Structure 1
Amino acid sequence: MKYRRLGSTDLDVSVIGIGTWQFGGEWGKDFTQMEVDQILDKGREVGINLLDTAECYGDHLSESFIGDYLSRNNREDWIVATKFGHHFIDNFERTRQWKADQVLKQLDHSLKSLKTDYIDLYQAHSCSDEEFNNDDLWTMLDKQVQAGKIRNLGISLQNEASTYQTKTAKEVNARAIQLIYNRLQREPEDEVLPIAEKDNLGVLARVPLASGYLSGKYKPGATFEKSDVRSKHDQADTSKKLKLVEEIARNEVPEGVPMATWALAWCLKHPAVSTVIPGCKNPDQVVLNAQAADLVSTNHPQHKQ
């Protein structure tokens, strides 16, 4: 495994993390604590130290799985990132909760669910620019940093990453951003990633396998079952993506390298990117994800010995 300093924080994160949205049940599978334990045990074994979750992955369900694990293992071995701004309700719907007092309640609930005294990276979760402009919220969060409940603040940007929030991150004491970035979705390269690089913001790249399209499993014409979130994607767009993936596999992926491994390492080549946080369903996928670190150069500006 390789490690990078996360922006101006004091956190050295593994270049491969574990995204845990799936633990909330929205990926079409209900996880057990034993299955989560096996995934996190394997992550620790291969040198992964970063977990990314959120209060609304289930009703603090993903956090609770992680918290149960942390209570039986060394909390200090892990960098835990979670998020705020939503409240989970039935059928995977969420309400938006951005008032300072609401977020303070979310923070305390997250700490309780995670069975920890502090959160390493507490991220605003897909807020609009209007929701972001909330002095009361950021003042309250700064007080929680001073109290030791939060080590660092971050911003998990919406699917269309906000240039404004990225430019303003330092003003609200946010030291990292999270965004969608992969070989099929390169828009952040235009403005957002250069700002992050200039302002020394850590960057967590989510959806690095483009919702599995870059896994190498699917050929043009592939269809997805109704339980698969990709079945809801626009069919024409899916067809276009699969054709592009076929071209990438033919022209860019080295012979003998699994496409998924290559795709994770591809994200990590950008000088602004600190870490990627792919999801995983089982320990074998954790191992395959971790192998991408072998393709990552030690010449990256954030590389840690």
Structure 2
Amino acid sequence: MKYRRLGKTEMNVSVIGLGTWQFGGEWGQQFTQNEVDAILDKGQELGINLIDTAECYGDHLSESFIGDYINRRKREDWIIATKFGHHFHERFTRTDVFGADEVLKQLDASLKALKTDYIDLYQFHSGPDAVFDNDALWTLLDKQVQAGKVRHLGTSIGSNDNVHQTDAASKVNSEVIQVVYNRLDRVPENRVFPSCERQDLGVLARVPLASGYLSGKYKPGAVFDTTDVRHRHDPESTRRKLEEVEHIRQTEVPEGVNMAEWALAWCLKHPAVSAVIPGCKNPAQVESNAAAAELVEG
């Protein structure tokens, strides 16, 4: 495993992290604690130290799985990032909750679920600019940092061209930007990454495998069933993506190199990117993701 400084937080994170949206049950699989334990144990064995989760991956369900695991391990071995701003109702149904008082309740609920007294990185979760530009919210969050409940603040931008929230990061003491970035979606390179570099912000690249399109598993013509989140994607967009992926496979991925590993390493070649946070359904996928670090220059 390789490690990088997460911007001005000065935390050293593994370049491969563990994304945990799947633990909330919206990827068509309901996880058990034993399955989560096996995934996180494999991650630690391979040198991964970064877990990214959120309050709305299930109703604090993903956090609860992680908390149960962490409670039986060494808390200091992990950098835990979670998020705030949404209330989970049912599969793919959420409402926004960004008021300062409500966010404080969410923070306490996250701390309880994670069975910890501090969160390493607490992230504004893909909210609109109107609720981001709320001094009361950031004043409340600064107080939580001062109280030791939160070590660092971050912003997970919903649009990967949201330069408004990125440019305002230093003003609100947000030290990390989380953004969708992958070989099929390079939009952050234009404005977001330059802003991050100017401010010395850490960058977490989410959806680095483009919702699995860059996993190497799918050929043009692939069809996703109704239990798969990709079934919700526009069919014409899916067709174009699969054709582009096949072109990338033939023209950019070196012979003999696993496409998913190549795609993760591709993200990490950009100097702004600190770590990628792919999801994983089992220990084998964790192992494949971690192997991408071997393709990354130190």
Partner of 2:151, secondary structure, is coil
Q: Which residue of 2 aligns with 1:293?
A: 293
2:56–2:94 contact (8 Å) kept in structure 1: yes
Q: Which residue of 1 aligns with 2:142?
A: 142
Segment of structure 1 superposing worse, 90-99 or 74-83 = 90-99
2:196–2:272 contact (8 Å) kept in structure 1: yes
Partner of 1:8, secondary structure, is coil
Q: What RMSD in Å do the two structures reach over aligned CA positions?
A: 0.7
1:137-286 to structure 2, matched below 5 A, reads 137-286=137-286
Q: Distance in 1 between matches of 2:275 and 2:27?
A: 22
Q: What letter matches 1:113 in structure 2?
A: A
Q: Distance in 1 between matches of 2:215 and 2:130?
A: 36
2:160–2:192 contact (8 Å) kept in structure 1: no
Q: Which residue of 1 aligns with 2:34?
A: 34
Superposed CA deviations along residues 97-127 of structure 1, whole A, max 9, x for unmatched, are: 1110000000000000000010000000001
The Cα shift of 1:38 comes to 0.1
Q: Distance in 2 between matches of 1:116 and 1:229?
A: 31
Residue identity (%): 69
1:91-130 to structure 2, matched below 5 A, reads 91-130=91-130
2:269–2:296 contact (8 Å) kept in structure 1: yes
2:16–2:48 contact (8 Å) kept in structure 1: yes
1:58–1:92 contact (8 Å) kept in structure 2: no
Q: What letter matches 1:238 in structure 2?
A: T
Q: Distance in 2 between matches of 1:147 and 1:160?
A: 31
User: Structure 2: 5+ residue runs without aligned partners?
Assistant: none
The Cα shift of 1:162 comes to 1.0
Structure 1 runs (4+) greater than 2 angstroms displaced: none
TM-score by length of 1: 0.97
The Cα shift of 1:36 comes to 0.1
Q: Distance in 2 between matches of 1:91 and 1:11?
A: 34
Q: What letter matches 2:230 in structure 1?
A: R
Q: Distance in 2 between matches of 1:235 and 1:50?
A: 34
Q: Which residue of 2 aligns with 1:11?
A: 11
Q: Distance in 1 between matches of 2:32 and 2:161?
A: 33
Q: Distance in 2 between matches of 1:248 and 1:10?
A: 35
Partner of 1:211, secondary structure, is coil
1:8–1:200 contact (8 Å) kept in structure 2: yes
Q: Which residue of 2 aligns with 1:24?
A: 24
Q: Distance in 2 between matches of 1:251 and 1:271?
A: 23
Q: Distance in 1 between matches of 2:92 and 2:246?
A: 33
Partner of 2:272, secondary structure, is coil
Q: Which residue of 2 aligns with 1:44?
A: 44
Segment of structure 1 superposing worse, 84-93 or 165-174 = 84-93
Q: Which residue of 2 aligns with 1:301?
A: none
Q: What letter matches 2:24 in structure 1?
A: G
Q: Distance in 2 between matches of 1:294 and 1:92?
A: 35
Partner of 2:169, secondary structure, is helix
Q: Distance in 2 between matches of 1:161 and 1:206?
A: 14
Q: Distance in 1 between matches of 2:234 and 2:112?
A: 39
